[in-house]
Amino acid sequence: MRSRLAAALLCFAACSFAQSERFVFAVIADPQVGWKQEELDRQQFARVVAAVNGLKEDSRPDFVLLAGDLVNDPKSAAQWEAMDAIRRTLKVPFYSVPGNHDPKPDGASGRFSFVHKGCLFLGMDSNLWSSGAQDSAQEQFAWLEGQLRARNRPRLAFVIQHHPLYLHHPEEKDEYFNIPLAWRTRLLKLFEAEQVTAHLAGHLHRNTTGWHRGMAMLVTPSSLYNFDSTPPGFRLIEVHSSGFNETYVVVPVRP
């Protein structure tokens, strides 16, 4: 009887621990308010935020990652005001990285780092890799190395930046949509050495997923408009005791 009770308690403890490890987060990419028609763009981003806020129970995210290009013109106060007004209605914390349409001002880092339920989340400014500001790019790379190496190995590690590392092949030529080869090579080597779980990005306005030597590569489509047949929406990532699952949630544009 005692052995059965002990086994039951162990099973209950294991199940409780596994449940306590589980959580969900959302990734929203390229709402780009002001790109098509400013008011309609604003309405679409509001629908996306409402869809995130409306998720129930096991699907409700603990936080949201915004993958850049929040507005189309970073100099437009009206676009930023519209974006910020909607972004603040999120019922969960949010973290943003800059895109090519909304680069950070000089002196702003455009980075974040936090740990949630044993998992590490790092956000970076991918504009720096191609900006020509090598001192800033090197400083960011040193920061990234320090974040990945300065603590006990996390349960899982997620890195988000606006630009994908590459489109088809890790040694492909530099172009508008990828990270330059010189930095890409260093980043991939570091991510492999430090066992990064997934690299998250936007920028493509397409839905692409793949793997690089055990690291998931997830490019979330635009929540406004995509160049392929992918409807606008956002990605939900469920983290659990054995890894993670991801799904894409469609948020249709309404006339």
Tens digits of residue pLDDT in 224-244 = 999 998 999 999 999 999 899
Phi–psi pair at 225, nearest 5 degrees: -155, 140
Predicted pLDDT at 133: 79
- In order of their start, the domains of the chain are 20-250 (3.60.21.10)
Phi–psi pair at 83, nearest 5 degrees: -60, -50
User: Which tens digit of pLDDT belongs to each residue from 58-102?
Assistant: 999 999 999 999 999 999 999 999 999 999 999 999 999 999 999
Split at pLDDT 50, 70, 90, the class of 2 is: low
Average per-residue pLDDT in the chain?
A: 91
Q: Centre a 10 Å sphere on the Cβ of residue 135 and count the other Cβ atoms it contains.
A: 8
Predicted pLDDT at 18: 53
For 3, the enclosing helix (H) or strand (E) is helix 2-21
Predicted pLDDT at 132: 77
Split at pLDDT 50, 70, 90, the class of 11 is: very low
User: Which tens digit of pLDDT belongs to each residue from 92-126?
Assistant: 999 999 999 998 876 677 899 999 999 999 999 99
| 195 or 3, which is more confident | 195
pLDDT of 181 > 50? The answer is yes
pLDDT of 5 > 90? The answer is no
CA separation (Å) from 61 to 55, 75, 142, 169? 8, 31, 31, 32
Predicted pLDDT at 36: 92
Question: Residues of the chain with pLDDT > 90: what percent?
Answer: 83
**What is the pairing mode between strands 157-160 and 243-250?**
unpaired
Split at pLDDT 50, 70, 90, the class of 131 is: confident
Q: Strand runs (DSSP E) across 47-110, as ranges?
A: 63-66, 94-96
Q: How many whole angstroms separate alpha carbon 125 and alpha carbon 160?
A: 9
Q: How many whole angstroms separate alpha carbon 131 and alpha carbon 56?
A: 41
Predicted pLDDT at 152: 79
Phi–psi pair at 167, nearest 5 degrees: -100, -45
Predicted pLDDT at 225: 96
Sign of the alpha-carbon dihedral angle for 80, 144, 26, 117: negative
Q: How many whole angstroms separate alpha carbon 138 and alpha carbon 120?
A: 21
